A and B are shown apart, each in its own frame.
Chain A
Amino acid sequence: MKNERFGGASIINYAIALATIFSLNFILPRLMPGDPLHAIYGDEALVAMTPEMEAHLIRQFALDKTWMDQLTAYLIGLLHGDLGFSYYYRDQVTTVIMGALPWTVLLTTTALALATVIGVILGIEAGSRRGKLLDSGLVALLMFLGGFPMFFMGILMLLIFGVSLGWAPLSGAVTPYAGLVGVDYFLDLLHHLVLPVTALVLVLVGDTFLITRNTVVSMLGEAFILTARSIGSSEFAVKYAHTGRNSLLPVVTETGMRIPHLLIQTLFIEIVFSYPGIGLLLNTALYSRDYPLLQGILLLVTVLVLTVNLAVDILYRKLDPRVRYAH
């Protein structure tokens, strides 16, 4: 069967997807009742706005001209990397977002790496003991945890280890105004990272675990495993070098496909822990109705998600030559 997902068609799909978000960003504020400038910038922004600024903005968005001219003005702005001005932070949206992005990247990459390593190891151990207590116990536990919405897992972590036990800080990424440097700064960073990362890992690990476990289970009867056993490979080598390595392919693609999901969940986790990434920024934007900032953040997340998806598509084809013939 022909599969349009791979190859040139997927790039066109991503282009359409991106165009959809662009159009929503353009159309939504202009569909709102009342003055479009109010809708673009939010009512609160206009309180602080002088008549000159208003005139300037109307000119910039071409709001006194036709829709076509407005669209052209919007697209030219985007091409210049201009996402607008955040009145709440009194800075360019691009600058504000770039200040928060590193924290989100730190959080997601740490969680992804940990969840993958833990998931693969647990998956191999459970898969090679199929049906034993450890296997069925892990499956039940991780499925239970995996069903939790991540932001509630975050809240639980916060309540148990932050509020009740006081083991970890309740908010932020570093202790403010502590003037820490070097190792102390690093430890402080880790201390703030522990809870949000644990929450993400607990929910994420289930998927990697199940994929690895199921692949391992389906592989245990294969001839090359029997061969490895018969030539006297140790149990460890059979598990990790033979079974484990060969079950990595589905894990890699599944992990790639999970990144968008992780990214979205991280936004919620950041809100729970007041972690200063783009999720917290999104919350502020929603709360203060800072629409340019909101649009900028969602645009960035979309671009990230589409880039990751495209990369996974390409990587998948590179990693498994069978895919190229199979479809």
Chain B
Amino acid sequence: MHIDPLRAVTSDRLALTGLAILSVIVLMSVLAPVLTFFPPDYYTGQIFSPPSASHPLGTDSVGQDIWSRLLFGARTTLLVAASVAILSTSLSFLVGASSALIGGLYESFWMRFVDAMSSIPPIIVMILVAAYIRPNLMVMILLISILSWPGGARIIRSQVLSLKERGHVYASRTFGASWGHILKSHIAPELGPLLTAMMIRDASRAVFMEAGMGFLGVSDPMIISWGKMMQQALEFTYLDVWKWWLLPTGLALSLTLVGLCFIGFSLEAAMDPRLMPRSVEGDGEKC
């Protein structure tokens, strides 16, 4: 059965809400230099100043413009989300599809590997490694991707296994098509919606992990991260600053996650007629 993920998403109110939320975040990050007067690391000369015309969200404990940091934080979030989504889903696809097509010892090896890796919550390994190496953005993206792909590989493997027994694939094989050709022109298009759903799940896991590491203070201090901003702001809840520092940052992070969650849910609902949302067990996020 072909499912057009685009149609499923554009005809569903839930998904449209999610898309609308994400578009705002994307706009924030793209237009960041236009929407603010100050670079995110610029020292404005006054700390804890309340919202004003020049500082829409005031300044933080080290005198940086919070609105600027919020905008540039969106860039970090989206960069991590997109990179991890692409990298991790590619890895899942590579391992999952090749396992299903090659089979044998190769398949057993990878599936055992995948099972063992999915038994540990990725965030535990992430905290452990990050505590020692304080990863920068690049390393963080790589780490999250390495920890995220196994769950998806198993799903793709079982899909490819069932796809390769389908009629048209069978027909193609009788005409002498190579596995490479079959993978490219018959299996990959069928997997489209599944891969999209997987990328969304990977993206939302990545957003949570990046923010979580920032919140725990174990990522590179140079990264402008919403999680890091929340960790800093949480120390000053006895002042009024939380209203324009902690709250907007947390809301931005939550809305990004909620947006991804809505799109993912409507995609998964479109693919699974029984409407059973299932998430990979034991990790940081919900969707």
* A137-185, CB < 8 A from B: 140, 143-144, 146-149, 151-152, 155-156, 158-159, 163, 170
Q: Mark B140-159, 1 if CB is under 8 A from A, else 0.
A: 00000000000000000010
Q: Mark B252-279, 1 if CB is under 8 A from A, else 0.
A: 0110011111100100000000111100
Query: Chain A residues near B129 (CB, 8 Å)?
Result: 24, 28
Determine how close the nearest CB of chain A comes to the CB of B73; give it in whole angstroms: 14
Segment of B60-68, B84-92, B117-125 engaged in the interface with chain A = B117-125
Determine how close the nearest CB of chain B comes to the CB of A86; give it in whole angstroms: 15
Instruction: Decide yes or no whether A306 CB sits under 8 A from chain B.
Output: yes
Known A-B contacts A13-B119, A146-B261, A309-B119; the reply to A152 vs B286 at CB < 8 A is: no
Determine how close the nearest CB of chain A comes to the CB of B123; give it in whole angstroms: 6
Segment of B32-40, B44-52, B179-187, B210-218 engaged in the interface with chain A = B210-218
* A241-266, CB < 8 A from B: 257-258, 260-261, 264-265
Determine how close the nearest CB of chain B comes to the CB of A252; give it in whole angstroms: 14
Complex Cα spacing A17 to B116, Å = 5
Q: Mark B194-225, 1 if CB is under 8 A from A, else 0.
A: 00000000000000100110011110000000
Determine how close the nearest CB of chain A comes to the CB of B276; give it in whole angstroms: 6
Segment of A93-101, A187-195, A295-303, A319-327 engaged in the interface with chain B = A295-303
Instruction: Decide yes or no whether B247 CB sits under 8 A from chain A.
Output: yes
Q: Which residue of A lies closest to B259 (CB)?
A: A147
Instruction: Decide yes or no whether A206 CB sits under 8 A from chain B.
Output: yes
Q: Which residue of A lies closest to B211 (CB)?
A: A149
Pairwise interchain contact B116-A148, C-beta atoms closer than 8 A? no
Determine how close the nearest CB of chain A comes to the CB of B232; give it in whole angstroms: 13
* B225-262, CB < 8 A from A: 230, 234, 237-238, 242, 246-247, 250-251, 253-254, 257-262
Complex Cα spacing A9 to B286, Å = 27
Query: Chain B residues near A24 (CB, 8 Å)?
Result: 125, 128-129
Query: Chain B residues near A147 (CB, 8 Å)?
Result: 254, 257-262, 286-287
Complex Cα spacing A199 to B282, Å = 18
Pairwise interchain contact B234-A264, C-beta atoms closer than 8 A? no
Looking at the complex, which one of A9, A20, A21, A291 makes contact with B131 (CB distance below 8 Å)? A291
Known A-B contacts A4-B111, A155-B234, A159-B242; the reply to A264 vs B284 at CB < 8 A is: yes
Pairwise interchain contact A309-B128, C-beta atoms closer than 8 A? no
Pairwise interchain contact B274-A152, C-beta atoms closer than 8 A? no
Q: Which residue of A lies closest to B128 (CB)?
A: A298
Query: Chain A residues near B261 (CB, 8 Å)?
Result: 143, 146-147
Query: Chain B residues near A203 (CB, 8 Å)?
Result: 286
Looking at the complex, which one of B115, B128, B250, B287 makes contact with A152 (CB distance below 8 Å)? B250
Looking at the complex, which one of B218, B230, B260 makes contact with A155 (CB distance below 8 Å)? B230
Looking at the complex, which one of B262, B282, B284 makes contact with A309 (CB distance below 8 Å)? B282
Looking at the complex, which one of A20, A140, A159 makes contact with B247 (CB distance below 8 Å)? A159
Pairwise interchain contact A14-B124, C-beta atoms closer than 8 A? no
Known A-B contacts A283-B216, A294-B128; the reply to A149 vs B120 at CB < 8 A is: no
Complex Cα spacing A12 to B119, Å = 11
Instruction: Decide yes or no whether A122 CB sits under 8 A from chain B.
Output: no
Query: Chain A residues near B234 (CB, 8 Å)?
Result: 155, 272
Complex Cα spacing A219 to B79, Å = 43
Pairwise interchain contact A302-B120, C-beta atoms closer than 8 A? yes
Instruction: Decide yes or no whether B175 CB sits under 8 A from chain A.
Output: no
Query: Chain B residues near A121 (CB, 8 Å)?
Result: none
Instruction: Decide yes or no whether B281 CB sits under 8 A from chain A.
Output: yes
Query: Chain B residues near A272 (CB, 8 Å)?
Result: 234
Instruction: Decide yes or no whether A275 CB sits under 8 A from chain B.
Output: no
Known A-B contacts A143-B261, A147-B257, A147-B262; the reply to A152 vs B230 at CB < 8 A is: yes
Pairwise interchain contact B119-A21, C-beta atoms closer than 8 A? no
Q: Which residue of B lies closest to A211 (CB)?
A: B276
Instruction: Decide yes or no whether B112 CB sits under 8 A from chain A.
Output: yes
Instruction: Decide yes or no whether A318 CB sits under 8 A from chain B.
Output: no
Instruction: Decide yes or no whether B285 CB sits under 8 A from chain A.
Output: yes
Known A-B contacts A17-B120, A20-B120, A210-B277; the reply to A148 vs B257 at CB < 8 A is: yes
Instruction: Decide yes or no whether A73 CB sits under 8 A from chain B.
Output: no
Looking at the complex, which one of A218, A261, A271 makes contact with B283 (CB distance below 8 Å)? A261
Determine how close the nearest CB of chain A comes to the CB of B33; give it in whole angstroms: 27
Query: Chain A residues near B16 (CB, 8 Å)?
Result: none
Instruction: Decide yes or no whether B188 CB sits under 8 A from chain A.
Output: no
Known A-B contacts A21-B125, A143-B261; the reply to A286 vs B211 at CB < 8 A is: no
Pairwise interchain contact B212-A16, C-beta atoms closer than 8 A? no
Looking at the complex, which one of A12, A148, A156, A295 makes contact with B128 (CB distance below 8 Å)? A295
Query: Chain B residues near A265 (CB, 8 Å)?
Result: 284
Determine how close the nearest CB of chain A comes to the CB of B204; give it in whole angstroms: 8
Instruction: Decide yes or no whether A76 CB sits under 8 A from chain B.
Output: no
Known A-B contacts A146-B286, A264-B283; the reply to A294 vs B275 at CB < 8 A is: no
Pairwise interchain contact A16-B116, C-beta atoms closer than 8 A? yes
Complex Cα spacing A13 to B286, Å = 24
Pairwise interchain contact A28-B128, C-beta atoms closer than 8 A? yes
Pairwise interchain contact B262-A143, C-beta atoms closer than 8 A? yes
| 18 pairs, A vs B, C-beta closer than 8 Å | A1-B158, A13-B112, A20-B125, A24-B129, A25-B128, A28-B128, A29-B132, A147-B259, A148-B257, A155-B246, A207-B286, A260-B281, A261-B282, A268-B212, A283-B216, A287-B217, A289-B131, A298-B128
Give 9 nearest A-B pairs by CB, closest first: A260-B282, A147-B258, A16-B116, A147-B261, A17-B119, A152-B250, A257-B281, A13-B115, A17-B120
